[in-house]
Amino acid sequence: DLVLIKNTDVQAARLGNIIHAMIMYRRKLDREEIKPVMALGIVPMCSYQMERMFNTTRVPGKETDVLQHLSDSRHVAVYHKGRFFKLWLYEGSCLLKPQDLEMQFQRILDDPSPPQPGEEKLAALTAGGRVEWAQARQAFFSSGKNKAALEAIERAAFFVALDEESYRYDPEDEASLSLYGKALLHGNCYNRWFDKSFTLISFKNGQLGLNAEHAWADAPIIGHLWEFVLGTDSFHLGYTETGHCLGKPNPALPPPTRLQWDIPKQCQAVIESSYQVAKALADDVELYCFQFLPFGKGLIKKCRTSPDAFVQIALQLAHFRDRGKFCLTYEASMTRMFREGRTETVRSCTSESTAFVQAMVEKSHAKADLRDLFQKAAKKHQNMYRLAMTGAGIDRHLFCLYLVSKYLGVSSPFLAEVLSEPWRLSTSQIPQSQIRMFDPEQHPNHLGAGGGFGPVADDGYGVSYMIAGENTIFFHISSKFSSSETNAQRFGNHIRQALLDLADLFQVPKTDS
């Protein structure tokens, strides 16, 4: 969500505007009215991933999952206090107005009915083992009311979770952003439907967030939707002085309907088992989110380097200070200049970056020499990123060779070793300003904090960052409590110091944090 401004504290009203904007976006998608994102402002990138944004579910299978995409869906599935609801988005052929959607969500919030047996933790099935979920789906959800209720969820445009807690970023309370992020990452393990293309999460105080399933698309796709929705909410729809949606609702609309379940004891045991598996995973994730205030891309550009290369080299320096060694580093790059392209890997830990880091740690080199080493590392990184984007990367090529070797039954010790090496530092830059909904210079506080993900390796870090405008960077750092070698907050402090040390190399003045 926009973390530095507040539109309304009314949970139902915020959902009214946001969901109306989401369906407006879906209508633009269906009519092919959304312009492609341009790489470097010149080359249009493939928009294929957007097609599966709505009306999409990941269906579990015993051997492989399947993405089920429908051409249309006229309702959303809603979870609140352990109950599932079906909420229609249309009256006849007309999309419900924000004030009507607000009324419908308020009806759900006011509904006092208790959960049915087994209903409260049902969504934990989507958070546990896939084979167990596939077996339970076949055994308990293949007929009758359970099949009908499950279809209402899986055939929904998307899933909406109404949380009873409140989260908001308070710049005076650093822990607030991490708590906000952790709630969005996994919630309580049964109040998100992790198989839907995305879950819209609404907190009691009107703040929002998304939890996206990764198989159907990459982060920039959901980011594009979110930019449109937040911009429409703030600058086109608006609220009354009391925080409600504009206009009067139609009280004659039939209320949302409760989904009906008949969940036997054996199924409840599977649900509880999946919940315990998911809870153990979630409890092990340490997430540390922070806003880096001293500078953003404005100062970095004065150092005559790309902001991404600057941050990636800072991550290498921070990791060496944190662990005393280098590690295999993954940075995701887009390959959407090609049809149906997804990602390629930029291996950010290069001989040039390690040479610079070692020189920094030795503390015996002149600043001019360090700047020279830094520029060599940055130039190498920028070139590798360019190669990855233009189809000249390494890792997808190796992966395809691995698939061919499996198909032919040919063993390759080289491929087996390369593809089994753990990525102890998995990183990604979060895109922003993909569409221009407002002037960021006139509205500098309309900033989102980006998003994050868990660590890929048990003893590694997951780092996502958003260079949010000219003067700030948001970081999301994850690790596992079960690893004695990692600590997300410690690593975050090393990142802070590394960024400041790089800026000092170029003697560019910066603001105090």
Spatial contact of 295 and 506, defined as CB atoms under 8 Å apart: no
**Which CA distances in Å does 408 have to 70, 291, 405?**
36, 50, 5
Give the Cα separation of 451 and 430 in Å (integer): 7
The Cα–Cα gap between 35 and 102 comes to: 30
Q: Name the E strands within 316-380.
A: 329-334, 343-347
Structure tokens at 33: 């009215």
- From residue 117, how far is each of 114, 219, 262 by CA, in Å? 9, 36, 8
Number of residues that make up the chain: 513
Q: In 129-148, which positions are buried (b, 16+ CB within 10 angstroms) versus exposed (e)?
A: bbebbbebbeebbeeeebee
CA distance 92 to 427: 46
Residue indicated by tokens 């309580």: 188
Three-state secondary structure call for residue 27: helix
* 347 phi and psi angles, rounded to 5 deg: -85, 95
CA distance 168 to 220: 23
Do the beta carbons of residue 8 and residue 16 sit within 8 Å? no
Secondary structure (DSSP) of 115-158:
PPTTTTTGGGGGTS-HHHHHHHHHHHSSSHHHHHHHHHHHTSS-
Can you tell me whether residue 169 is helix, strand or coil? Answer: coil
Q: Amino acid identity, residue 321?
A: R
How far is the first Cα of the chain from the last one, in angstroms, to the nearest whole number? Answer: 23
Strands 425-429 and 461-467: parallel
Backbone angles phi, psi at 30, to 5 degrees: -60, -35
Q: Which amino acid is at 45?
A: M
Residues labelled catalytic: 214
